[in-house]
C-alpha cells in the first residue's frame, strides 16, 4: 500500500505515530511561517502542517502545490493547538516530513467542497469531480448500503439472484422501448428490457421458486426530476404464494431496510383499496403523513341557487385545520395554484370558521350560517379551520383536489421529510379504458391476474374487474408495485383478447410465455421496487439523480461522455441502417 492510514482515520490516540497518507489537496493556506493543507480521500480530511522553521524545503514545496494535486505525505501525528470539533480528525494534524506528488491536477472547474460554486450542468460534465464531494459520495454510500442489506435480507429468505438478458424482444405494452439494431440479423432489432417481467415468470416455470435481481431497466419516456431513461429495480418473484404472502414478505424487507439504514421502526403498513384512495385522496399514491381526506358536499351544497355547484357533477371539500387565518393574498395564491393549466380548476371556494364559530365564505350570497354549519359538520371543521371546495367533473375534481391537498400539506408543514408513512394500495382495477385509442389497457401489465370472483365481468364490464395487484406507497411516492400473475394459458389468452390482441399477435409477441404455461407453471407473483427512488427517499431528496453515479440530464443526455451521439457512416453501413 502507498499509505499506512486513510485521511479519516487518525485520532488523538495516534499522536506520536509515523504515518503515510495519500489523498487530494482540498485547500491550502499559510499563516506566516506555518502552512496548512487539507488532504482529502474517500474517508475524510486530515490537516497537514508545514513549519518553515522545522523543515524549510518541505514548507517551500507545499506552497506551490495546487488544488486537487494527488499527494503522498509522510510525517508524525501531533495534537492540534486549535482543535476542530466538527471534524472526525479535528484533534490532530500531521507534521509533514516529506511530500511526494503522485499526480498534478489542473485547477478544477468548481470548488470540491460540500458547498460548491459549480452549477448543475458543470458538475454533470465533470461528474467524476463532483463525486469527490463528501455529500455526493455519501449518497452513493447510502445506495451501496441499501443494496447490501437488500441482498442480505433476500438471501436469508432463500431468494437467489439470477441475471436476465439485456437484449430482448420489443413488445408494444407499457412504455416505449429503447431499441438496438442487430448487425448479424440485418433489419431486425433487439429491445432493452423495461423490466425482466417475462423472464422472472419463466424462472418460476423453471422451478427457481424465489428469485430477485437488482437490475437495470430502460424506458424511453419523457423525463422528470424523478425519472431516468435507465434506472434500477429490486425485482422479485415467488412461487406458491398468494397476495398476502407477497405483501408480508416485502413489507418485512422494507421494514428491515428502514431499521438498518435509518434506524427507524416503520409502523405496520395499512392497506387501502384503490377505490378508497381515489375517493378520499384523489390519487392512487396518497401521502398519508397527514390526513385531510376529501368530503363530498353534493347533498349539502346543491340546490341553493349557486349555478356553479348546481351544474357540477361533484363538489369536494377539504378541511385545512388551523388555516382560517389565511390572508386574502394567500387565498388568491391558492386560487392561482389550482387554476394553473397543469391543474386546471375553474376556481376555489373557501369558508373560514372564525374564532367565535361564525362562518365567512366566498359564497355567502347563496349559503347562510346554517348551511355553512352543515358543511363544517361534514368536514369536521371547528374554529380556526379553513374549508376549501372545488367542483366539476368527478375524476378531474379529485385530481385537482389531490394537488391542492398536497400543496396545503406542504404549506402547513405536514410533509416532514424525516417522517415516513408507508402503506399498501390494493385492489387496483385490472384494466382501464383508453378513450383516445378506443381500447382497454392493462393497469399494471397484461400478466396480472384478475380476482377470481370478478372474472364474470370479463366480457361484459371489464372496468369492474379488480386485479390481484398492489403498490407500496411511502410519503406519496410509489416505491414498488407488483401482482399475482396469470399462470394459465387460456386465461392469459383471454386477457390478450380483452387488450385487443388478435390470437396471432398474442402468439407472436408472447407465445414463448404462453407456451411455457403449458409445461407446469406454478402459481406465482412478485413485485419490483424502484431502487433509485427508494435510495432518494432514504436520503430525504426528491430527485433520484442524486443517487445515481452517472445520471442523465433532463434531456436524457450524459453531458460528460456526450451521449447520445452520431455514429459513423461505416457503423451505419455495417448495421444496415
Half-sphere exposure of residue 537: CA atoms within 13 angstroms, side-chain side? 24
**Residue 201 or 402 with smaller CB distance to ligand ASP:** 201
C-alpha 267/C-alpha 421 separation (Å) is 8
Nearest Cα to 449, choosing from 433, 463, 428? 428
Distance in Å, CB of 426 to ligand ASP, minimum: 14
C-alpha 506/C-alpha 128 separation (Å) is 46
Taking CB under 6 A as the criterion, which residues in 165-204 touch ligand ASP?
195, 197
Q: How many other CB atoms sit within 10 Å of the CB of residue 265?
A: 8
User: At which residue does the C-alpha cell 501525528 appear?
Assistant: 77
Site size with ligand ASP, rule: CB under 6 A? 8
Distance in Å, CB of 326 to ligand ASP, minimum: 40
User: At which residue does the C-alpha cell 404472502 appear?
Assistant: 245
Q: Which stretch binds ligand ASP (CB under 6 A): 222-230, 273-281, 480-488, 551-559?
A: 480-488
CB 199 within 8 A of CB 169: no
Q: Which stretch binds ligand ASP (CB under 6 A): 130-138, 270-278, 475-483, 559-567?
A: 475-483
Closest chain position to ligand ASP (CB) = 195
**Residue 69 or 529 with smaller CB distance to ligand ASP:** 529
Instruction: Confirm or reject binding of residue 481 to ligand ASP (CB under 6 A).
Output: yes
**Residue 217 or 404 with smaller CB distance to ligand ASP:** 217
**Residue 195 or 239 with smaller CB distance to ligand ASP:** 195
Which helix H or strand E contains 172, and what residues bound it? none
Distance in Å, CB of 257 to ligand ASP, minimum: 18
**Residue 178 or 296 with smaller CB distance to ligand ASP:** 178
Report the residue from 462, 476, 482, 551 that binds ligand ASP according to the rule CB under 6 A.
Answer: 482
Distance in Å, CB of 192 to ligand ASP, minimum: 13
What are the C-alpha distances in Å from 134 to residues 44, 105, 117, 247?
8, 19, 15, 37
Instruction: Confirm or reject binding of residue 35 to ligand ASP (CB under 6 A).
Output: no
Burial class (CB in 10 A: 0-12, 13-18, 19+), 435: exposed
Instruction: Confirm or reject binding of residue 426 to ligand ASP (CB under 6 A).
Output: no
C-alpha 122/C-alpha 144 separation (Å) is 25
Taking CB under 6 A as the criterion, which residues in 498-527 touch ligand ASP?
526-527
Report the residue from 316, 379, 528, 535 that binds ligand ASP according to the rule CB under 6 A.
Answer: 528
Q: What pairs with residue 179 in β-bridges? A: 191
Instruction: Confirm or reject binding of residue 551 to ligand ASP (CB under 6 A).
Output: no
Which helix H or strand E contains 78, and what residues bound it? strand 70-79
Q: How many other CB atoms sit within 10 Å of the CB of residue 540?
A: 11
Binding site for ligand ASP (CB under 6 A): 195, 197, 481-483, 526-528
Amino acid at each position: 500500500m502507498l499509505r499506512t492510514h486513510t485521511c479519516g482515520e487518525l485520532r488523538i490516540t495516534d499522536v506520536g505515530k509515523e504515518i503515510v497518507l495519500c489523498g487530494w489537496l482540498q485547500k491550502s493556506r499559510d499563516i506566516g511561517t506555518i502552512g496548512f493543507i487539507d488532504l482529502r480521500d474517500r474517508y475524510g480530511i486530515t490537516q497537514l502542517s508545514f513549519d518553515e522553521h522545522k523543515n524549510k524545503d518541505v514548507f517551500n514545496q507545499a506552497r506551490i502545490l495546487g488544488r486537487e494535486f494527488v499527494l503522498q505525505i509522510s510525517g508524525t501525528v501531533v495534537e492540534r493547538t486549535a482543535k476542530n470539533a466538527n471534524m472526525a480528525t479535528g484533534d490532530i494534524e500531521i507534521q509533514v516530513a516529506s511530500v511526494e506528488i503522485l499526480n498534478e491536477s489542473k485547477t478544477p472547474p468548481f470548488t470540491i467542497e460540500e458547498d460548491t460554486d459549480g452549477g448543475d450542468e458543470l458538475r454533470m460534465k465533470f461528474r467524476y469531480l463532483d463525486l469527490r464531494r463528501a455529500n455526493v459520495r455519501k449518497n452513493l454510500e447510502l445506495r451501496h448500503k441499501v443494496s447490501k442489506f437488500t441482498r442480505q435480507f433476500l438471501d436469508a429468505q432463500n431468494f437467489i439472484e439470477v441475471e436476465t438478458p439485456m437484449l430482448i424482444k420489443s413488445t408494444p405494452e407499457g412504455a416505449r422501448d429503447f431499441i438496438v439494431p442487430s448487425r448479424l440479423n440485418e433489419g431486425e432489432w433487439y429491445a432493452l428490457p423495461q423490466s425482466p417481467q417475462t423472464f422472472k415468470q419463466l424462472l418460476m416455470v423453471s422451478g427457481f421458486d424465489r428469485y430477485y435481481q437488482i437490475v437495470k431497466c430502460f424506458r424511453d419516456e419523457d423525463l422528470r426530476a424523478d425519472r431516468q431513461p435507465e434506472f434500477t429495480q429490486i425485482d422479485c418473484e415467488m412461487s406458491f404464494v398468494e397476495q398476502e404472502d407477497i405483501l408480508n414478505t416485502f413489507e418485512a424487507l422494507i421494514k428491515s431496510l428502514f431499521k438498518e439504514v435509518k434506524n427507524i421502526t416503520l409502523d405496520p403498513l395499512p392497506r387501502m383499496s384503490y377505490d378508497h384512495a381515489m375517493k378520499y385522496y384523489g390519487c392512487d399514491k396518497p401521502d398519508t403523513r397527514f390526513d385531510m381526506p376529501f368530503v363530498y358536499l353534493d347533498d349539502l351544497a346543491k340546490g341553493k341557487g349557486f349555478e356553479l355547484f348546481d351544474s357540477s357533477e361533484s363538489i369536494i371539500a377539504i378541511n385545512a385545520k388551523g388555516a382560517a387565518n389565511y390572508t386574502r393574498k394567500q387565498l388568491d395564491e391558492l386560487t392561482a395554484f389550482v387554476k394553473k393549466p397543469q391543474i386546471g380548476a375553474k376556481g376555489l371556494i373557501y369558508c373560514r370558521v372564525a374564532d367565535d364559530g361564525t362562518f365567512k365564505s366566498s359564497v355567502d350570497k347563496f349559503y347562510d350560517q346554517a348551511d355553512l354549519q352543515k358543511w363544517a359538520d361534514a368536514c369536521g371543521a371547528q374554529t380556526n379551520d379553513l374549508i376549501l371546495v372545488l367542483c366539476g367533473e368527478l375524476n378531474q375534481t379529485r385530481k385537482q383536489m389531490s394537488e391542492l391537498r398536497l400543496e396545503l400539506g406542504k404549506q402547513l408543514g405536514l410533509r416532514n421529510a424525516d417522517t415516513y408513512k408507508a402503506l399498501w394500495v390494493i385492489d387496483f382495477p385490472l384494466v382501464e379504458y383508453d378513450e383516445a385509442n378506443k381500447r382497454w389497457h392493462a393497469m399494471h401489465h397484461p400478466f396480472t391476474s384478475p380476482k377470481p370472483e370478478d372474472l364474470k365481468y370479463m366480457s361484459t364490464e371489464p372496468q369492474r374487474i379488480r386485479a390481484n395487484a398492489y403498490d407500496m406507497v411511502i410519503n406519496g411516492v410509489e416505491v414498488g408495485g407488483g401482482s399475482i400473475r396469470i399462470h394459465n394459458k387460456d386465461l392469459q389468452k383471454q386477457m390478450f383478447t380483452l387488450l385487443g390482441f388478435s390470437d396471432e399477435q398474442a402468439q407472436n409477441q408472447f407465445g414463448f410465455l404462453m407456451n411455457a404455461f403449458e409445461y407446469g407453471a406454478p402459481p406465482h407473483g412478485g413485485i419490483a421496487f424502484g431502487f433509485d427512488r427508494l435510495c432518494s427517499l432514504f436520503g430525504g431528496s426528491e430527485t433520484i439523480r442524486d443517487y445515481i453515479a452517472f445520471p442523465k440530464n433532463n434531456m436524457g443526455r450524459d453531458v460528460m461522455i456526450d451521449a447520445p451521439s452520431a455514429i459513423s457512416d461505416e457503423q451505419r453501413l455495417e448495421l444496415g441502417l
